[in-house]
Structure 1
Amino acid sequence: MKLQLTALLSLICMIAFGQKKSEKEEWKQLFNGKNLDGWDIKIRGNDLNDNFGNTFRVEDGKMVVRYDQYDDFKQKYGHIFYKGDFSYYRVVVEYRFVGEQAPKGEGWAWRNSGIMVQGQPATTMGKDQDFPISIEVQLLGGDGKKPRTTCNLCTPGTNVVMNGELKTQHCFNSTSKTYDGDQWVKAEVLVLGDSLIRHYANGEMVLEYNKPQMGGGNVSGNDPSLMVDGKLLDHGSISLQSESHPVEFRKVEILNLKGCMDAKATNFKSYYVKADNSACTYGKK
């Protein structure tokens, strides 16, 4: 009897161990470290995939934004879009600011870039459109003199809900530390459809809000027929920004959470806990 019980317990442990291994996180590298395959480029005033001034390029295994071929920035805001559509996910970017700002770049754009999530596709942007309709996770570098948080929120063509109230202002500061100089910073965004978005800076949660939706201003040159005020953004593109200051990205990766949702959950907080505990198979759906 003892022998049978021991064998049964061993079998249960083997099954449990096998399940745990199969449910490991499966991160996908969006940037392969070699080239820009799988990405689309849209720079204001230029056609899709016209990489004006070789703005977006790969150097030393990093995706970089450079302005050495610019005489005048001329508000040529640019974005590089991963060719995909996502709804529930965690995206991680490791970035740093370097060098000097492009000639005639706006003062507010000094050491300024962003991760755009739940955005419109690159193919639907107007030739003279400045920013995609999206949620912008604003990335900022410090000047060594005063606090300047990163992983903030800006809202080109969008609004969000915070603490149950619709917010229509353009930008919101996070609670992050200031990161001066050329140090690498890890920015992570948790996106759960049109329900919940959280920002993390170097592993610390620094901002949270709900119900990302179209509305407001702060975007120009877009097709007005695509702007539907109040439409919830439950899926969309992911892109990285060129706003006039050189920036480098050494990692861009995603953990697809689609398919992990507990259909019986009344809110997405339980969904997030479930995912953290590996209660579903990551990256499979």
Structure 2
Amino acid sequence: MRTSVFNAAARRCKRLCTGGCTRGVRIAPSSVMRRRFSIILGLFLAGFTIHAERGWRPLWNGRNLDGWTTWMRQPEPGSELPGLTRDADGKYVDPIGSGRDPLKVFTVVADTDGRPAIRISGEVFGELRTKASFKDYHLRLQFKWGAKRWPPRDQPGVPRDSGLLYHVHAEPGAEGRTWARSIELQIQEHDVGDLYAVGSAIAVRAKRRAGTQPALYDYDPAGEWTFFSQSQGSPGRCIKQPDNEKPTGEWNTVELICLRDESIHIVNGKVVMRLHSPTRINGDTPTIVTSGPIILQSEGAEIFYRDIEIRPINAVPPEFGQER
């Protein structure tokens, strides 16, 4: 009975195959089993891959800025914005504020190297913020620097600057701050992946650079736990390691993993920093922060963002697990 079943399967295989099967050759039962197993395994793996990719969804729709909102501070004096009050020295007094973009700082470009992108001109310091808040997620995006620069980053030797803020826990412009309280994954020439604790605190294993004053700290998986915070004159910065940024003008892929009280900064597929215990410090009692909106910064330099995607997670993806 078993032989007849396998022979029937072989006959069906011969009828369906073209080129891969030799007409008239009897297929042994073990061969059929191997082929059947290979087909089933292949379908399973393909389905698994498709299912995994389905976990991703666009955070930006590729057409407009629906789902995002803007806020900008006062422009630099060199920007012309009729109707916005200046003081006796020619400096703007009031911020542009929320939901207004008369200088087209945040726009959508239909074709940048073959795909749509968000263009941030950099002319005014400000934010492009998601309307939704996020918790326990894996974010990925691509960015590329443009050519345009604006004050105060228009001088030779000053690096182009932007940034990805996460775990945002303040309203736009609150407390007179340009940047909302948050954790920053720095996006700046030669510094992509650095940490800035923006009006907050967070712990990183780090090592102090010898002879630096004020002290500079590098991420070091074998280093001591160090809390970083923008307080008492400290910039709240930890420098990523290694440097995995591509040359200016090329597209870089940045990923951010946030799970419970842990976050991971990833640049072009390489983990450059692991962080723990993001902490809100402007309340009566310091509190761990594990969710919030996401912000892309406008900070004096033209930059393009594309392929912005996010997926929920309940574990760190194995390729970015703890270093051995």
TM-score under structure 2 length normalisation: 0.64
What are the residue-to-residue correspondences of 1:61-80 with 2, within 5 Å? 61-67=116-122, 76-80=124-128
- In structure 2, what is the Cα distance between the partners aligned to 1:273 and 1:99? 35
Give the deviation of 1:228 after TM superposition.
5.1
- Match for residue 316 of structure 2? 272
SS at match of 1:197: strand
- In structure 2, what is the Cα distance between the partners aligned to 1:276 and 1:180? 24
Aligned residues of 2:244 and 2:270 also touching (Cα < 8 A): no
Q: Which structure would you say has the larger RCO, counting Cα contacts within 8 Å and 6 or more residues apart?
A: 1
Comparing 164-173 with 16-25, which one deviates more in the overlay? Answer: 16-25
Q: Does 1:132 align with 2:176?
A: no
- Match for residue 305 of structure 2? 249
- In structure 1, what is the Cα distance between the partners aligned to 2:289 and 2:158? 26
Q: Does 1:101 align with 2:145?
A: no
Aligned residues of 1:214 and 1:228 also touching (Cα < 8 A): no
- Match for residue 149 of structure 1? 191
Q: Does 1:166 align with 2:243?
A: no
Give the deviation of 1:276 after TM superposition.
8.0
- Match for residue 52 of structure 2? 24
- Match for residue 238 of structure 1? 294
Aligned residues of 1:213 and 1:229 also touching (Cα < 8 A): no
Out of 77, 86, 98, the residue aligned to residue 48 of structure 1 is 98
- In structure 2, what is the Cα distance between the partners aligned to 1:117 and 1:51? 23
Higher Cα radius of gyration: 2
User: How many pairs are equivalent?
Assistant: 237
Give the deviation of 1:30 after TM superposition.
1.3
Give the deviation of 1:207 after TM superposition.
0.8
Q: Does 1:89 align with 2:131?
A: no
Give the deviation of 1:62 after TM superposition.
1.1
- In structure 1, what is the Cα distance between the partners aligned to 2:252 and 2:319? 24
1:96-136, Cα deviation, whole Å (9 max, x unpaired) = 11113113348697311111111126x56428430011111
**What is the identity, as a one-letter code, of the residue corresponding to 2:280?**
M
Out of 268, 272, 292, the residue aligned to residue 202 of structure 1 is 268
Q: Does 1:185 align with 2:241?
A: no
SS at match of 2:97: coil
Give the deviation of 1:85 after TM superposition.
1.0
SS at match of 1:24: helix
- Match for residue 67 of structure 2? 38
* Unmatched tracts of structure 1, length 5 or more: 71-75, 142-147, 216-223, 262-270, 278-285
- Match for residue 73 of structure 1? none
Measured at CA, do residues 17 and 162 of structure 1 come closer, stay the same or move farther in structure 2, by a change above 3 Å?
closer
1:147-200, Cα deviation, whole Å (9 max, x unpaired) = x23111111111111234423351111122343321111111111132x11111
SS at match of 1:119: coil
Out of 50, 58, 62, the residue aligned to residue 108 of structure 2 is 58
Aligned residues of 2:165 and 2:184 also touching (Cα < 8 A): yes
1:194-250, Cα deviation, whole Å (9 max, x unpaired) = 2x11111110111111111123xxxxxxxx6xx455211111111101111111112
Aligned residues of 1:46 and 1:127 also touching (Cα < 8 A): no
Give the deviation of 1:52 after TM superposition.
4.3
Measured at CA, do residues 187 and 235 of structure 1 come closer, stay the same or move farther in structure 2, by a change above 3 Å?
same
CA RMSD after TM alignment? 3.2
Aligned residues of 1:119 and 1:238 also touching (Cα < 8 A): yes
- Match for residue 110 of structure 1? 159
Measured at CA, do residues 125 and 30 of structure 1 come closer, stay the same or move farther in structure 2, by a change above 3 Å?
same
Measured at CA, do residues 97 and 19 of structure 1 come closer, stay the same or move farther in structure 2, by a change above 3 Å?
closer
Measured at CA, do residues 79 and 17 of structure 1 come closer, stay the same or move farther in structure 2, by a change above 3 Å?
same
1:68-90, Cα deviation, whole Å (9 max, x unpaired) = xx5xxxxx421101121111111
- In structure 2, what is the Cα distance between the partners aligned to 1:100 and 1:240? 17
- In structure 2, what is the Cα distance between the partners aligned to 1:38 and 1:110? 30
SS at match of 1:98: strand
- In structure 2, what is the Cα distance between the partners aligned to 1:50 and 1:84? 19
TM-score under structure 1 length normalisation: 0.72
State the percentage of identical aligned residues.
20
- In structure 1, what is the Cα distance between the partners aligned to 2:160 and 2:296? 14
Give the deviation of 1:19 after TM superposition.
7.7
Aligned residues of 1:43 and 1:52 also touching (Cα < 8 A): no
